[in-house]
Amino acid sequence: MSDRVAALLLLLLALFFGLEALSYRAGDFTDALGARAFPLAVTALLVPSALYLLLRPQPDKPWPPAPVWGVLGVAVATFIAYALLLEPLGFIFATTLFFVVFGAFFAAPWWRSALAGLAFSAALYAIFVWALDLYLPVGGLFERFI
C-alpha cells in the first residue's frame, strides 16, 4: 500500500512538472533546448517509474511507526525552510545551516556539520558561479561584500 501511495504522489509530481514545462515560453533565449528540457526530462523519467510502482504486484508492508513520520515531517520542513531561506540568506549560509540540521538527524556534532556544509557549499558556489558562470544567490546580508 505504501508503494502505491508514493507512486501516486510521484505521478502527480511528474504531471505537475510536465504541465509547468509546457507552459514555458522561450523569449530571446538562444539555447536550442530551452527552459523546458529539464522538467520534461524529469517528467519522462518519473511517469514510467511511478506507473511501475503503481502497477506491479507487491506484498503489503507495514506502515512505519509514528516516530519515523515525525522525522520525515522535520526533514520536509527543513527542505521547505531551505527553499525559503535561500534568497535572503544566500546559498553558502543557507546550505551550511541545512547541513547542520540534517547532521543532527545523524547525531553528528554541530561544528562538524557546519564545517562540512561550509566547505561543500563554498566549493559548489565556486563551481557554479566562477566555472559555469551560473547565478546562485549571495544573500541580502552579504551582497555589499561581493
Q: How big is the CA angle at 87 (ends 38 and 20), to the nearest 5 degrees? A: 30
Please say if the pLDDT value at position 120 is more than 90. yes
In this prediction, residue 90 carries a pLDDT of 87
pLDDT, mean of residues 122-144: 81
pLDDT one-digit tens code per residue, 58-113: 777 777 788 888 888 888 999 999 989 888 888 889 999 999 998 988 888 999 99
Q: Is 122 exposed, middle or buried (0-12, 13-18, 19+ CB in 10 A)?
A: middle
In this prediction, residue 146 carries a pLDDT of 63
- CB atoms under 10 Å from CB of 26, counted, come to 12
Structure letter (DSSP) for residue 90: -
The domain limits of the chain are 1-63, 66-146
State the average pLDDT for the chain: 83
Sign of CA dihedral 100, 101, 105, 110: positive
